Amino acid sequence: MNLLQLQNGTKQFGTKLLFDRAQFAINEGDHVGVIGPNGAGKTTLFKILVGQESLDSGEITKSQKLKVGYLEQESREPLDRSAEEFLTEISLTPIWELKQLGLELGLSERHFRVPFHELSGGYRMRMKLLSLIGRQPNLMLLDEPTNFLDLESVIALEKFLQGYEGAFLLISHDREFLRRTTDHTLEVEQGEITKFPGNIDDYFEQKAQLRTVLEAQAANQETKRKHLQSFIDRFGAKATKARQAQSRAKQLEKMEKIEIKDLPVRARIKIPPPVHTGKESMLLTNATLGYLNQDEGAQKTGLEKSILTGVNLRLERGDHLGVVGFNGAGKSTLLKSLAGRIPLLQGERKLGYQVSLSYYAQHVSEELNPEDTVFESLEKAAHKDILRQDILNIAGSLLFNGDAIEKKIRVLSGGEKSRVALGQILLKRSPLILMDEPTNHLDFDTVEAMTEALKSYEGTVVVVSHDRGFIGRIATKILEIRDGRAEIYPGTYDDYVWSLEKGALKARYAAIQNIQEKASPSATEPKSERTENSNRPKDFTKKYQAEARESQRQITKIEAKIANLTKEQEQTTDALNASLAGSANGDPGRRDEIQTLTATLDRLTKEITQLEDELLAQIEKLEQAESFLTTLPQE
């Protein structure tokens, strides 16, 4: 059933047309990723749907059952009140349920008790998520919900959205997050809004297929058009052929023109090569990182607040280091210390031969001079050897073309300011680049372009990011911040994410089990009775042996289903390729067949993915049962 439907929606800001007779529908249970370049109108669309903005023309039809919840990038909370008071007042969900979800998002009991103004931006974002969920909407609008969340919290939010029974629209530049949480993609681009079935990977595949089909149809149509026109030009004046020529002229007039829009301008970033340096970029030796306490008494006694201790880190030319860890663990402190923004409390920091560095902080765009133009901002930051054309090239690669480079910083959007700050960093030709959450406020395409540029950068890069696709493709080494230490992780980034997912899952189940035990009547039984009933290894052995057998049976069954579906998937792929080839050869009737085969392929892919998830779950159950059996005493 439709929750809402936009019909012939038009919206214009000044001379810019955001939507031109756009239309789409959202159904119950749809999990929709919303993508498009900055300025295309994604946030404006959300504001229109919740009534904060209005359409110039068009209509939005809403179901009587529709209940919308909106998570904005910027919103106001009661800063003088505690989160618990606020949530208790506005939520339909019991506060203990919200607290349980809050624990999974990295919140503690203390965060619920203190006033909002004492919470950092990341923790406020978590509380806003809880307040939204607590209102129990059946359609959530989420505008960049992962900004300021650490990886563990992103994973917890991801698991929540995967199991969410309602519908949601999700604006995000995080490709991995979109891949894991959505089953449709809504493209907002060039005045149109188009809904595609499938996640972000399916979107790119379908987009390429549709363009191939349209280009082939357009080429065939142009050939036919030229043939008809040639006949008209050749025989139109001849009496014996006049009737045929007129018939072809009418046919030519009625022929529907296939329009193929120009591809939108995408960010293509080329970073100027770094200046030549020695092999070593930076060395930290026996370093203690932290801050001097700022209160008067602490300054008098020289007290310090250490965040990380015993840090030994050697960065070499070409190292691409991804820094990971929970919020508050000390990632930003590490980058500030590497950048020299805060002094070491102990130890030594040494830059390599001829090494200079650039530092992209989370709020670096706020340091831009609002009266500078885009070009002036970039020019002031550029290395002395950078030519004017190089500056224009970087500006163009960041989508500042033509008159846009003369815009004042004060009139730019948040995303545009972030692109200017990014351009400043790239133009310095620094052999060492430090970046703290650089993807926040950038659109999907710019993140993709920056990923590819940094991936091939010859200099040293140190990156803190919650965006798995970004850091996973850039980082060749992983530095984990945990428990006041900073150590190289013995594995790849994918290994780290996998271990974190399993750890977060175990913590979640442990917390749920703890709550259930407290609520269970058995918790009030005398200790002696509980001990007597719980110490029965024979019963446990039978239980886990039965569980292991059942899991093995399910594994065999699921593997057989996957094999059958994979075979069907291969056959469907072959048929689709044949249809695409036939369409390219001038068979217009192939389009419906292509759409049917594409939908079938999408369904099969989803079914296989779901079965693979079930297979992994059964394998984990089998491993868990076998693990318990090895720990039980043998009779």
Contact yes or no for 177/148 (Cβ under 8 A): no
Quick check: 298 pLDDT over 60?
Answer: no
Q: At what angle do helices 200-235 and 590-631 cross, to 10 degrees?
A: 170
Most confident of 66-70, 142-146, 524-528: 66-70
Strand 346-351 vs strand 280-292: parallel, antiparallel, or unpaired?
antiparallel
pLDDT at 321 over 90: yes
pLDDT of residue 632: 46
- The pLDDT, as a whole number, for residue 300 is 43
Selection from 16-25, 103-112, 263-272, 521-530 with the highest mean pLDDT: 16-25
Residue 284 has pLDDT above 50, yes or no: yes
Give the span between the Cα atoms of 478 and 325, in whole angstroms: 10
Average pLDDT score over residue span 605-609: 80
What is the per-residue pLDDT for 562? 83
* Coil/strand/helix, residue 286: strand
Q: What is the mean pLDDT of residues 215-231?
A: 70
Lowest mean pLDDT, pick from 59-73, 282-296, 392-406:
282-296
pLDDT the model gives residue 529: 37
> Regarding predicted confidence, which is higher, 122 or 381?
381
- Smallest Cα–Cα separation from 405: which of 395, 414, 397? 395
Taking residues 568-591, report their average pLDDT.
73
What is the pLDDT, as a whole number, of residue 535?
A: 40
Identify the weakest region by mean pLDDT among 15-19, 277-281, 630-634: 630-634
- Of 622 and 67, the one with more pLDDT: 67
CA angle 113, 117, 119 (to 5 degrees): 65
Average pLDDT across the chain, whole number = 80
Most confident of 142-146, 437-441, 590-594: 142-146
CA angle (243, 245, 246) in 5-degree steps: 65
Rg of the chain on CA atoms, in Å: 29
d(CA 50, CA 528): 58
Q: Has residue 268 got a pLDDT over 70?
A: yes
Flag the least confident range among 232-241, 307-316, 539-548.
232-241
Who contacts 169 (Cβ-Cβ below 8 Å, separation ≥6)? 26, 32, 34, 46, 49, 139, 140, 141, 142, 186
- Residue 528 above 80 pLDDT? no
pLDDT of residue 299: 47
Arithmetic mean of pLDDT, 557-574: 84
Give the whole-number percent of the chain exceeding pLDDT 70. Answer: 78
Does the pLDDT value for residue 8 go beyond 50?
yes
Q: Residue 346: its pLDDT value, please?
A: 93
Tell whether pTM > 0.85.
no
How far is it, in rounded angstroms, from Cα 592 to Cα 610? 27
Rounded to the nearest 10 degrees, the angle between the axes of helix 83-90 and helix 95-104 is: 130
Query: What pLDDT, on the 0 to 100 scale, is given for residue 214?
Result: 63
> How confident is residue 619, by pLDDT bands cut at 50, 70 and 90?
confident
> Looking at 42-46, 77-81, 114-118, 332-336, which range is the least confident one?
77-81
In degrees, to the nearest 5, what angle opens at C-alpha 560 toward C-alphas 559 and 563?
85
- First-to-last CA distance in the chain? 58
- Who has greater pLDDT, 619 or 583? 619
pLDDT at 325 (0 to 100) = 86
Helix (H) or strand (E) segment spanning residue 348: strand 346-351
- The whole-number pLDDT of residue 577 equals 76
What is the DSSP code (8-state) at residue 271?
Answer: P
> Does position 119 have pLDDT exceeding 50, yes or no?
yes
Answer yes or no: is pLDDT of 388 > 70: yes
Structure confidence at residue 533 (pLDDT) = 38
Confidence of residue 314 (pLDDT cuts 50, 70, 90): very high
Task: Please determine, for residue 344, whether its predicted confidence score (pLDDT) is greater than 90.
Answer: yes
Q: 73 and 43 in contact (C-beta within 8 Å)?
A: yes
Distances (CA, A) of 1 to 165, 167, 276: 14, 11, 62
pLDDT of 366 > 50? The answer is yes
Q: Which residue has the higher pLDDT, 374 or 523?
A: 374
Distance CA 46, CA 42 (A): 7
**147-195 pLDDT per residue, tens:** 777 787 788 788 888 888 899 999 988 888 898 899 999 999 888 898 9
Average pLDDT over every residue of 443-465: 88
Question: Does the pLDDT at position 385 exceed 50?
Answer: yes
% of the chain at pLDDT higher than 90: 24
Per the model's pLDDT, the better-predicted residue between 211 and 126 turns out to be 126
Q: Is the pLDDT of residue 475 over 50?
A: yes
Q: What is the pLDDT of residue 620?
A: 65
pLDDT at residue 594 tops 90: no
Please check whether residue 353 is in contact with residue 278, taking contact to mean a CB–CB distance below 8 angstroms: yes
Lowest-confidence region among 149-158, 299-308, 383-392, 431-440: 299-308
Q: Provide the pLDDT for residue 266.
A: 57
Task: Using the predicted structure, report yes or no on whether residue 41 has a pLDDT greater than 90.
Answer: no
Instruction: For residues 86 and 78, give the distance between their C-alpha atoms in angstroms, rounded to a whole number.
Output: 8
The lowest-confidence range among 185-199, 237-251, 508-522 is 508-522
Residue 30: the pLDDT is: 94
Query: What whole-number distance in Å separates Cα of residue 415 and Cα of residue 423?
Result: 12
